[in-house]
Amino acid sequence: VAILENALGDIPHLGAEVAEVEEARAAIAALYAAHGARIHRFLRDLIGDPSLAADATQETFLRAFRQRDAYDAARAAAPWLFGIARNVSLEVRRARTRRDRVMVTSDADAPAHGSPESDLLGREAVRIVGAALDRLSDDRRAMLLLRLDHGLAYEDIASLMGFSLAKVKIEIFRAREILRATLAEYER
């Protein structure tokens, strides 16, 4: 929140009322507090590089601040933020030097900070999900994450991905089949 508020403070008011801008800054900072970790995880899964994902997370919330007038107050904020985050991730991936496919499988993703049993389960989950995500195309990976990791509705996923509802359902169905297959391999 501190980083974000500093960054938001650098944005000029552009003629808007100071109080309105300050209120919007505080609102975006609150959204960061509520959704920042999820957005960062989503971006990390899409981009692969944790430090790039951290930058992309900040960029996501800066854009949310700049685009606040486009926010539909009748809808939840999470799909709006994930939509911005996905656009940022696409730009980051286009901009960086072409490398191998993004791979998310890594033991380093699961630091020990709980009981031995929960750490073991956590590391196992990181490995299984990471292996499944590595088998998916970028779009399918994003859709699976939005559905299973972040609990978005199919309609919201279709809207933010720019796909039809039917396509989203089919893609997530197929991604889940791959996830189940990966899970079965680990259980054998």
Partner 1 sequence: MSSCIHAFEVEDLALGAVHGSERRALEAHVAECADCRASLVAFEEERELFARRAEAMDPPPLAIALSHVRPHAPFVDAFVRFVRAAFSSSRIVHGVLSGAACAAALAFVVSGGASRSSDDETTMAADVIMQSRRHLASFAPAEPVACADTRTEHAELLACADDPRAVCEAMTMSNQ
Q: Which residue ranges make up the site for partner 1 (CB under 8 A)?
A: 1-3, 5, 22-24, 26-27, 29-31, 33-38, 40-41, 44, 50, 54, 57, 71, 73-74, 76-78, 109-111, 114, 118-119, 121-126, 128-129, 148-149, 151, 153-154, 169, 173, 176-177, 179-180, 183
Helix axes 165-187, 116-134, angle to 10 degrees: 130
CB of 165 to partner 1, least distance (A): 10
21 vs 86, which CB is nearer to partner 1? 21
45 vs 93, which CB is nearer to partner 1? 45
CB of 80 to partner 1, least distance (A): 10
14 vs 98, which CB is nearer to partner 1? 14
Q: What is the DSSP string of 109-137?
A: GS---S-HHHHHHHHHHHHHHHHHHHTS-
- Give the amino acid at 31: L
> How far apart are the C-alpha atoms of 120 and 110, rounded to whole Å?
9
91 vs 112, which CB is nearer to partner 1? 112
Reference 80, options 93, 67, 99, 98; nearest CA is 67
CB of 15 to partner 1, least distance (A): 19
35 vs 86, which CB is nearer to partner 1? 35
Contact 2, 33 (CB under 8 A): no
Please state, in angstroms and as integers, the Cα–Cα distance from residue 186 to each residue in 24, 131, 132, following that order.
47, 10, 11
> How far apart are the C-alpha atoms of 76 and 133, rounded to whole Å?
26
